[in-house]
Amino acid sequence: MRYADVNEDIVRSIVETGPKYYIALATAGGITLLCFFFPWFYQLYYGIGASGMHHPQVWGTYLAGFIFWIGLSHSGTLLSCVLLLTNSTWRKAMYRSAEAMTLFSLMVATTLVAVHLGRPWFIHWTLPYPNQMEMWPNFRSPLLFDVMAIGTYLTGSSVFIYMGSIPDFAAVRDRTAGWRNTMYTLLSLGWRGTDREWHRLHWAYTFLAVLIIPLAVSVHSIVSWDFAMSIVPALHQTIFAPYFVVGAIYSGTAGIVTVMFVLRKYMNFEQYITKVHFDNLGKLLLVLSLIWTYINAIELFTGWYSGTSTEHEALNYKLFGYYAWLYWEMILFCAVAPLLCIFRRFRTSLVPMLILSIAINIGMYTERFLIVGTSLSRKYLPDAWTVYVPSVVELSIILGSFALFTTLFLVFVKIFPSVSMYEVKETMDVPGTEPTAQPEGSSA
Amino acid sequence: MNILERFTDGWRKYRKPGYYREFDYHWAMTIDLDACTGCEACVTACKAENNLPIVGEKEFAKGREVQWIRIERYWEGEYPDVKLRFIPMLCQHCDAAPCETVCPVAATYHNQDGLNVQIYNRCIGTRSCAVYCPYEVRYFNYTDHHWDSPLDQQLNPDVTVREKGVMEKCTFCIQRIRQAKDHAKDDGRRRVRDGEVQPACVQTCPANALVFGDRKDPQSQVAKSMNDPRAYRVLEELNTDSSVVYLKKVDAKG
């Protein structure tokens, strides 16, 4: 394979669009409109009463969805940044799409916050801007830490993905004409591919990668503190910060497996996304699953060990109460099923990995729902204990959020090169040398 | 005062330890569970005074009632030895309120009268204050409400009608407190005397189980009531420092 083949393949995936893509885009867009936006507009008109929430379960599937999508956003960070610092070569084909997943997950999560609010037209009051009311937001609030953290993460991720794509935009610019050429000329910011430019890009990219890793860890810790800083029995635990971060990376990695399968199949990337990638992602999933199981066991143990009646009641309810079937489904999908990744044959077979990754994400969404739903059911005063069942509007919006993500991602693959051309070329043999020679890295 | 003086005076005030506990009045309530019969007159009075929405039977069954004061019922034993314990539960106006810190837009705060205040037009409806409240006394408006005529003529003009998407809760009838303070100011700038202001629930209780007043005044009925040996606070172990004190019911068995 020549270097030029890489460019041609990826540029072709952007420029050539078949009817299947348009059908997929129309379907995703239609479902988004129907299942996400129309129910949301109904809820804006009618009030939060359109959902199934009631006293005391005032937090429901919207917030669970919000946390789930923030969790999925950790996919890009892990793949792109952490694996960059560990010098893994197998990340190079996938990280661009993973970073895009991060960005769009964050956007969907922010939209779900707006859906969750009682008066979302005032959401700008959470931002610290000088106003005539002389009111700042309440900086002591964990929800405000959220706003700051997610805002920073969104900004950082956007800059990160854009900056890393500049050489690829230039490659597409050099191979297209017409309106595409104009667009990519603007996007590539006059990239010429000189030595100095490559050096600076590499430095800036590594710098941002090092910055984004603690950012990602802190973002999900901060999101967990929405819960952990409360006094609700099942939520007020110090394990929440690591629990959420591990859960996020876990669900993000599973998300990457799903997206990689789809990309490989529908964009003809068989040469770039290979079984080696699935093998390595499978190993990661196994490790993360084991850590996640451990953390769950610790949560149960410390809750039991505390001896407080409220804690016992909350845990009992979680395991054996109304939602018990959801809890055990979560354990099956997230703790038991990924043990299949011990076997190399499983890890390298693509469709089973796809099914496993979807199962893991279903389990992870269930986990978020259980955190929100069961803990609020069993607070301190037994008179207030109730059961929460999500309404049709809520379920539709959650389903629609997946469609929204898919729509954004489908638009992404036609604008951004979804496989990083220059990094893939780094893994190839330099043409004209023996196959056993070390490939010379083109950028430091 | 010029700007420098305003700045330094304010700074000095906020740098004194315990400044946030120096209340102008410190409104408190005691509820005598021995006297309470669970008749729910206080619930009705509160609803009338504060324009509480009528959510309707269906919504009530779904758990969306708005009852700023509610009677909690706990059944004990099997028939025929059934016993019912009930306790009126309202916003405890905690001095260390969990709900105040979590609101991202500062729609709830502790005012200088020791009350936990909810600002309806600042609330954006995140409902995190309801999650953080251990007493479950915060109520959310899930829909817009309307009152069938002629109930719409019964609304109290001193109190707003909340729109959907905002959180509300017991205010210790702050509109009555405000009126009493205004009246006292007009009456020669004196302090509000004990018994001059009573929230709707306190005024209505037929058994006089509820006592309300300024606990900074050692001669007030509520201050004396709080020193009763039967006095306790609900969920005291959470250290919320509530302003509502309950007087334990003495069982016949002792």
Kindly state whether B156 is in contact with chain A, defined as any CB-CB distance less than 8 angstroms: no
To test the contact with chain A by mutation, choose from B128, B137, B146 the residue with the greatest count of A C-beta atoms within 10 A, namely B128
What's the Cα-to-Cα distance from A44 to each of A39, A120, B63, B165, rounded to whole Å?
Answer: 9, 8, 20, 9
Closest Cα in chain A, distance from residue B10 (Å): 16
Mean local confidence (pLDDT), B63-74: 93
Q: With residue A48 as reference, give the H or E element that holds it.
A: none
Residue A369 pLDDT: 95
To test the contact with chain B by mutation, choose from A46, A58, A134, A135 the residue with the greatest count of B C-beta atoms within 10 A, namely A58
- What is the per-residue pLDDT across A260-291, written as a single tens digit (0 to 9) for each? 898 888 877 888 888 888 998 999 999 999 99
pLDDT confidence band for A140 (50 / 70 / 90): very high
Q: How far apart are CA B194 and CA B171, in angstroms?
A: 18
Interchain proximity B139–A55, CB inside 8 Å: yes
Nearest Cα neighbor of A337 from A394, A286, A381 is: A286
Q: What is the CA radius of gyration of chain B?
A: 20
Give chain B's domains with CATH numbers: 24-247 (3.30.70.20)
Mean local confidence (pLDDT), B116-141: 94
B136 chain-A contacts, CB cut-off 8 A: 55-56, 379-381, 383-384
Closest Cα in chain B, distance from residue A228 (Å): 10
Give chain B's mean pLDDT: 91
Ranges A13-27, A79-93, A144-158, B139-153: which has the least confidence? A79-93
Residue A336 has pLDDT above 90, yes or no: yes
Class of residue A98 by CB neighbours under 10 A (exposed 0-12, middle 13-18, buried 19+): buried
Closest Cα in chain A, distance from residue B143 (Å): 5
Kindly state whether B208 is in contact with chain A, defined as any CB-CB distance less than 8 angstroms: no
Class of residue B5 by CB neighbours under 10 A (exposed 0-12, middle 13-18, buried 19+): exposed
Closest Cα in chain A, distance from residue B50 (Å): 19
Q: How far apart are CA A117 and CA B126, in angstroms?
A: 5
Q: How far apart are CA A275 and CA A351, in angstroms?
A: 11
Interchain proximity B59–A49, CB inside 8 Å: yes
A230 chain-B contacts, CB cut-off 8 A: 98, 102, 128, 131-132
Mean local confidence (pLDDT), A412-430: 86
Residue B166 pLDDT: 94
Residue A442 has pLDDT above 70, yes or no: no
Q: How far apart are CA A36 and CA B59, in angstroms?
A: 25
Please report the residues numbered 313 through 352 in chain A whose beta carbons come closer than 8 angstroms to any beta carbon of chain B: none
What's the Cα-to-Cα distance from B242 to each of A57, A107, B52, B118, B165, rounded to whole Å?
Answer: 23, 41, 24, 16, 27
Residue A241 has pLDDT above 70, yes or no: yes
Give chain A's mean pLDDT: 90
Interchain proximity A49–B142, CB inside 8 Å: yes
Residue B254 has pLDDT above 50, yes or no: no
Q: With residue B141 as reference, give the H or E element that holds it.
A: none
Query: Which 8-state DSSP code applies to residue A190?
Result: T
CB A396 within 8 A of CB A39: yes
* Long-range CB contacts (within 8 A, 24+) of A306-312: A308/A233, A310/A233, A310/A378, A310/A379, A310/A380, A311/A233, A311/A234
> Do β-strands B167-168 and B210-214 pair in parallel, antiparallel, or remain unpaired?
unpaired
CB A288 within 8 A of CB A246: yes
Residue A200 has pLDDT above 60, yes or no: yes
Mean local confidence (pLDDT), B27-45: 95
- What is the per-residue pLDDT across A107-118, written as a single tens digit (0 to 9) for each? 999 999 999 999
Residue B90 has pLDDT above 60, yes or no: yes
Closest Cα in chain A, distance from residue B28 (Å): 22
Please report the residues numbered 3 through 42 in chain B whose beta carbons come closer than 8 angstroms to any beta carbon of chain A: none
pLDDT confidence band for B226 (50 / 70 / 90): very high
Interchain proximity A231–B134, CB inside 8 Å: yes
Tell me the Ramachandran region of residue B205: left when phi exceeds 0, alpha when psi lies from -120 to 50, beta otherwise. Answer: beta
Q: Which of A46, A137, A382 sits opposite B143 (nearest CB)?
A: A46
B150 upstream amide cis, omega within 30 of 0: yes
- What is the per-residue pLDDT across B158-198, written as a single tens digit (0 to 9) for each? 999 999 999 999 999 999 999 999 999 999 888 999 989 99
B63 chain-A contacts, CB cut-off 8 A: 54-55, 57, 386
- What is the per-residue pLDDT across A41-97, written as a single tens digit (0 to 9) for each? 999 999 999 999 998 999 999 999 999 999 999 888 777 888 888 777 777 888 888
To test the contact with chain B by mutation, choose from A51, A116, A119, A313 the residue with the greatest count of B C-beta atoms within 10 A, namely A119
Residue B149 pLDDT: 87
Nearest Cα neighbor of A163 from A208, A124, A128 is: A208
A373 chain-B contacts, CB cut-off 8 A: none
Residue A436 has pLDDT above 60, yes or no: no
Closest Cα in chain A, distance from residue B74 (Å): 7
Q: How far apart are CA B112 and CA B25, in angstroms?
A: 7
Residue B48 has pLDDT above 90, yes or no: yes
Amino acid in position A258: T
Amino acid in position A22: Y
Q: How far apart are CA A204 and CA A337, in angstroms?
A: 40
Look up the ipTM and state it.
0.88
Q: How far apart are CA B126 and CA A197, in angstroms?
A: 46
Q: How far apart are CA B236 and CA B239, in angstroms?
A: 6
B144 chain-A contacts, CB cut-off 8 A: 47
Interchain proximity B101–A138, CB inside 8 Å: yes
Q: How far apart are CA A97 and CA A264, in angstroms?
A: 11
Mean local confidence (pLDDT), B139-148: 91
Closest Cα in chain B, distance from residue A137 (Å): 4
Summary count for chain B: helices (H), strands (E): 8, 10
Residue A224 has pLDDT above 60, yes or no: yes
Ranges A312-316, A390-394, B15-19, B35-39: which has the least confidence? B15-19
Amino acid in position A381: L
Residue B1 pLDDT: 60
Q: How many C-beta neighbours within 10 Å does residue B54 have?
A: 15
pLDDT confidence band for B36 (50 / 70 / 90): very high
- Return the sign of the alpha-carbon dihedral for residues A319, A324, A328, A331: negative
CB A33 within 8 A of CB B105: no
Q: How many C-beta neighbours within 10 Å does residue B151 have?
A: 11
> Do β-strands B231-232 and B244-247 pair in parallel, antiparallel, or remain unpaired?
antiparallel
Q: How far apart are CA B40 and CA B196, in angstroms?
A: 23
Give chain A's domains with CATH numbers: 3-123+139-418 (1.20.1630.10)
Mean local confidence (pLDDT), B114-128: 94
